[in-house]
Amino acid sequence: MGNMVCPNFKVCVTPQFEVLTQDQRQQIYFGALEILARTGAQIHDERTLELLQQNGCQVEGTRVYFPRALVEWAVAAAPSYVTIYDRNGRPAMYLGGNNVYFGPGPTNTFHLDPFTGERRKPLKTDKADVARVVDALPNIDYAMDLGTPSDVTSTLADVHAFDAMVRNTEKPIVHWGFDVEQYEDIIKMAAAVKGGLEQLARRPFIVLYSESSPPLVHSKEAIAKALYAAEMGIPVIYTPCVMAGATAPATMAGTLAITVAESLAGLTAVQLLKKGAPFIMGGVISIMDMSSTILSYGAPEFNLLQAALAEVAHHIGLPVFGTGGCIDSKVLDAQAAAEAAQSILLSALSGANLVHDCGYMEFGSTGSVELLVLDDEIIGYVKRIMRGINIDDESLALEVIDRVGPGGHFLGEDHTMAHFRTETWFPTLCDRRRYDDWVAHGSTSLEQRLKEKTQAIIRGHQPRPLPDHVLARLDEIVSAAEEREAAKAKKRR
């Protein structure tokens, strides 16, 4: 093709996918602004109420009505990209645009033991195992706890989970906290790892998140945590968990509008407190299955809503918290693989930035590191799809085709050797061997190979340890938190 000029030539670097048109995205955004202005929201934090009232919001008790112009100002004030670093200070995630990163989810009630298969309460040691598995998997970009530890002081389960994770992975950590006090503990620990709060804020390796209470209720803990994270310079996710037909209208458009409104209320408060504070718009949204009353992670509407939310976030220029790699199935079966694959693919196609809940089974009730390992394989598959097809003189290979000619083969060509490794995705779990070779190697099922790989990572992967003085400081912070909680318990008695 030489140096041929192709006027008006359009390039599709990745596959193209859209749920909403630009006009529809604008409609959802305008609908959210209308909800905040006309219906308002309940805010149960005095500091936030005062901040909002001082900046033009109408406040009637705990009910707040947000002027449209104020919310639009807040959207414009927030950064469109947020950079997250790893534990060592290297850039790890550029949250914004269509950049997509995957990780587990938090706070599951149960843990699927990868050695015994038992569904049981999570332990702190499980959080260390989750972090080690995250550290080892090439397609999992950050850590979350995948279950609230039950063998520690209950009011410090969040602190203990962070303690276990930060010791066992160099990757970024997205985490939660019961209240501002626990946020303080977690930030102290992260600052100890980085050598100080200033260094942590400059290159954050943690993202904190908080949840409102749909429909349109913001608890004292939820909004206060978001403001505290902003004050400390730590990126914050503000995410409602919305059920169409229960805590939102049964229609997809109405559910999207109220979800965006929930997150924008948090954004407005955060930006008023600290203009330019890093903020990630959230929303875990699906239907309430009317036959079981669960929030379904495997429903087609779940994937549709999550993809549409990502598009609305892109439209208004905010990074977005996505959801994928999660299932309704209670076991790792065909249903599990289908549900996980669909949500991962649509999350990637929609460009959701921080996709969480990989490893979620049983509509979020149970965390599974085996599912996390399976998700890693699926993400690798999907990443190859997202790379698309490169078309240029080298990839068209017209000279090579002409040289080989009819009836030849390309196995011995230098062109093949130069490109087959980068053009082709190679699985680590999915089996492509010929039948006799598969039989010779034990006729294993995917489930067996998955269990073996997961157990091998937990037993064998050793993350780079933190320095002894940092480990000692983490111990001090956890011990001080334990003493504080013990004193509170004694006072209550």
DSSP letter string, 300-352: HHHHHHHHHHHHHHHHHT--BEEE-S--S-SSSSHHHHHHHHHHHHHHHHHT-
Q: Which residue, 31, 22, 25, is CA-closest to 248? A: 31
437 and 378 belong to one structural domain: no
Q: Helix, strand or coil for residue 135?
A: helix
Under 8 Å between Cβ of 146 and 130:
yes
Q: Structural domain of residue 369, as residue ranges? A: 75-387
Query: Mean pLDDT by 10-residue block, N- to C-terminus, for the chain (493 residues)?
Result: 53 83 98 98 98 98 98 98 97 97 97 97 98 98 98 98 98 97 98 98 97 97 98 97 95 97 98 98 94 93 96 98 97 96 96 97 97 98 95 96 96 96 95 96 96 98 97 98 94 86
Within a domain: 8: no
Q: Is the dihedral of CA 238, 244, 249, 255 positive or negative?
A: positive
Nearest CA to 208 out of 222, 198, 219 is that of 222
For residue 406, is the peptide bond before it cis, meaning its omega torsion is within 30 degrees of 0? no
Torsion of CA 31, 33, 34, 35, to 10 degrees: 90
CA distance linking residue 233 with residue 84, whole number of Å = 12
User: In this structure, what token pair is assigned to residue 296?
Assistant: 């379904």
Tell me which residue of 346, 238, 254 sits closest to 300, measured CA to CA: 346
pLDDT at 485: 96
Same domain, 356 and 446: no
Q: Given 368, 387, 406, which residue is the final one in a domain?
A: 387
Q: Residue 425: how many CB atoms within 10 A of its CB? A: 13
Residue 346 lies in a domain: yes
φ, ψ for residue 166, nearest 5 deg: -65, -20
- Say whether both 282 and 419 belong to one domain: no
The one-letter amino acid code at 60 reads E
What is the DSSP code (8-state) at residue 247? T
Same domain, 246 and 324: yes
Task: Give yes or no for a cis peptide into 7 (omega within 30° of 0).
Answer: no
| Position 360 in a domain | yes
Provide the H-helix boundaries in 19-178: 22-34, 46-54, 68-77, 124-136, 157-166
- Count of structural domains within the chain: 2
Pair 264, 340 in one domain: yes
> Domain boundary at 362, 387, 412, which?
387
CB 142 within 8 A of CB 174: yes
Q: What pTM was computed for the model?
A: 0.95
CATH number at residue 278: 3.20.20.480
Based on the fold, state whether residues 83 and 190 are members of the same structural domain: yes
The residue assigned the tokens 């850590």 is: 143
φ, ψ of residue 241 to 5 degrees: the values are -110, 105
Say how far apart CA 64 and CA 52 lie, in whole Å. 8
Residue 157 lies in a domain: yes
What lies within 8 Å, CB to CB, of 193 at 6+ separation is 87, 166, 200, 205, 466, 470, 474
Q: What angle do CA 95, 148, 43 make, to 5 degrees?
A: 65
Distance CA 160, CA 476 (A): 12
Inside any domain, residue 233:
yes
Note whether 323 and 455 are same-domain residues: no
8 A C-beta contact, residue 466 and residue 170: no
Sign of the CA dihedral with 438 first, then 443, 446, and 448 last: negative
Same-domain check for residues 246 and 298? yes
User: What is the C-alpha R_g of the chain?
Assistant: 24
Let me know whether 227 and 368 are in one domain.
yes
How far apart are alpha carbons 108 and 368 in whole angstroms? Answer: 9
Pairing of strands 279-281, 284-287: unpaired
Cβ count within 10 A of residue 55: 17
- On whether the CB atoms of residues 324 and 347 are closer than 8 A, the answer is yes
Which pLDDT does position 492 carry in this prediction? 86
383 and 418 co-located in one domain: no
